[in-house]
């Protein structure tokens, strides 16, 4: 038996293809990105080593700070509205008297299975300044208010962030709700017998027990915001001006439009450092001070 299950040739044949593919397509490029971030490189001619020059330039680049600012705005909107709404919906759906739970969850979830292109094209239509839904609503209500949503310097980034909120609320709801359902019914029952109101139940039992789930939700929302790319690439191309640049958009633009591959690698490295920092920070904020916390549904 062990001879068959320990056959070295078979093990190599089964394992190596995956390991090689992963190494070549995923692992090797990561090393390359870090390595090339110290080079002046246009992707065509031989790269020239220039030490920390790229990093110096990046920290002196106004666009870098604007991109970071937009990433933070995006992340804050996702946390407040995506995680926030998902929490409110979870609290409501945890009420045993609410009917049609499956329907509500699906209604919120469907946008998450659409491609980002479909979602952006649809929202491009909703935001259309002449005939889009939002301005039409103002018109019907008789308000003189009009907004050129996606071509406003200040508002475009917010408008784009809400596209993402809409698309992935159901996804966050799914994460939070499925963990909430996994909490043993006795916990809730015990509190209910003690006369806790629904709000107290949520505030003192449900949310504290979902700490680990919230850790995950926050990390998804924040890194999702910092990483945002597809939405602006489709809806605004970073514009108007550079007002909807994010660090990812800046990275892609530097590398693939301007042809500064080395510099693109530098901002990619910073992006990863940022995401790592956020992950560590969120883990630290959500650390278990008192030890005893229920492990959310896995």
Asked whether position 190 contacts another protein by CB under 8 A, the answer is no
Question: Which part of the chain contacts another protein (CB under 8 A), choosing from 64-72, 93-101, 180-188, 202-210?
Answer: 93-101
Question: Which part of the chain contacts another protein (CB under 8 A), choosing from 74-82, 107-115, 203-211, 280-288?
Answer: 107-115
Helix (H/G/I), strand (E/B), else coil: 258:
coil
Asked whether position 203 contacts another protein by CB under 8 A, the answer is no
Asked whether position 257 contacts another protein by CB under 8 A, the answer is no
C-alpha to C-alpha distance for 10 and 14, rounded to whole angstroms = 6
Q: What is the smallest separation between the CB atom of 52 and another protein, expressed in angstroms? A: 18
C-alpha to C-alpha distance for 257 and 250, rounded to whole angstroms = 10
Asked whether position 215 contacts another protein by CB under 8 A, the answer is no
Question: Which part of the chain contacts another protein (CB under 8 A), choosing from 58-66, 76-84, 203-211, 247-255?
Answer: 247-255
Say which residues have a Cβ less than 8 Å from residue 168's Cβ, sequence separation at least 6: 78, 82, 111, 112, 224
CA distances to 8, 15, 108, 161 from 12, in Å:
6, 5, 45, 47
Q: Which of residues 73, 120, 160, 232 is near another protein by CB under 8 A?
A: 120
Q: What is the smallest separation between the CB atom of 272 and another protein, expressed in angstroms? A: 5
**Of 214, 132, 130, 235, which is closest to residue 172 (Cα–Cα)?**
214
Binders in 52-81 for another protein, by CB under 8 A: none
Asked whether position 174 contacts another protein by CB under 8 A, the answer is yes
Asked whether position 207 contacts another protein by CB under 8 A, the answer is no
**Of 73, 117, 157, 109, which is closest to residue 101 (Cα–Cα)?**
109
Q: Which of residues 57, 63, 69, 109 is near another protein by CB under 8 A?
A: 109
Binders in 147-166 for another protein, by CB under 8 A: 166
Binders in 263-282 for another protein, by CB under 8 A: 264-265, 268-269, 271-272, 275
């Amino acid at each position: 038996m062990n001879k068959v299950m320990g056959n070295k040739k078979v093990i190599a044949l089964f394992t190596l293809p995956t390991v090689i593919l992963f190494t070549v397509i995923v692992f090797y490029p990561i090393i390359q990105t870090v390595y090339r971030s110290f080079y002046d490189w246009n992707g065509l001619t031989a790269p020239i080593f220039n030490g920390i020059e790229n990093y110096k330039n990046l920290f002196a680049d106004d666009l870098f700070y604007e991109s970071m600012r937009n990433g933070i705005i995006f992340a804050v909107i996702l946390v407040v509205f995506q995680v926030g709404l998902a929490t409110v919906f979870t609290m409501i759906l945890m009420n045993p008297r609410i009917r049609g739970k499956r329907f509500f969850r699906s209604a919120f979830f469907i946008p998450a299975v659409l491609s980002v292109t479909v979602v952006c094209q649809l929202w491009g239509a909703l935001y259309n300044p002449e005939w889009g839904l939002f301005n039409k609503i103002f018109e019907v209500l008789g308000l003189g208010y009009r907004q050129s949503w996606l071509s406003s310097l200040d508002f475009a980034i917010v408008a784009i962030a809400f596209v993402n909120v809409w698309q992935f609320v159901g996804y966050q709801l799914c994460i939070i709700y499925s963990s909430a359902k996994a909490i043993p019914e006795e916990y809730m029952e015990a509190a209910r017998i003690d006369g806790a109101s629904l709000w107290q139940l949520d505030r003192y039992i449900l949310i504290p027990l979902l700490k680990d789930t919230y850790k995950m939700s926050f990390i998804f929302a924040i890194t999702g915001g910092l990483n945002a790319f597809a939405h602006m690439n489709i809806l605004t191309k970073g514009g108007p001006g550079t007002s909807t640049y994010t660090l990812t958009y800046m990275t892609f633009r530097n590398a693939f439009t301007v042809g500064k591959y080395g510099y693109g690698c530098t901002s990619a490295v910073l992006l990863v450092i940022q995401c790592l920092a956020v992950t560590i920070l969120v883990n630290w904020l959500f650390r278990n001070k008192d030890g005893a916390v229920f492990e959310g549904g896995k």
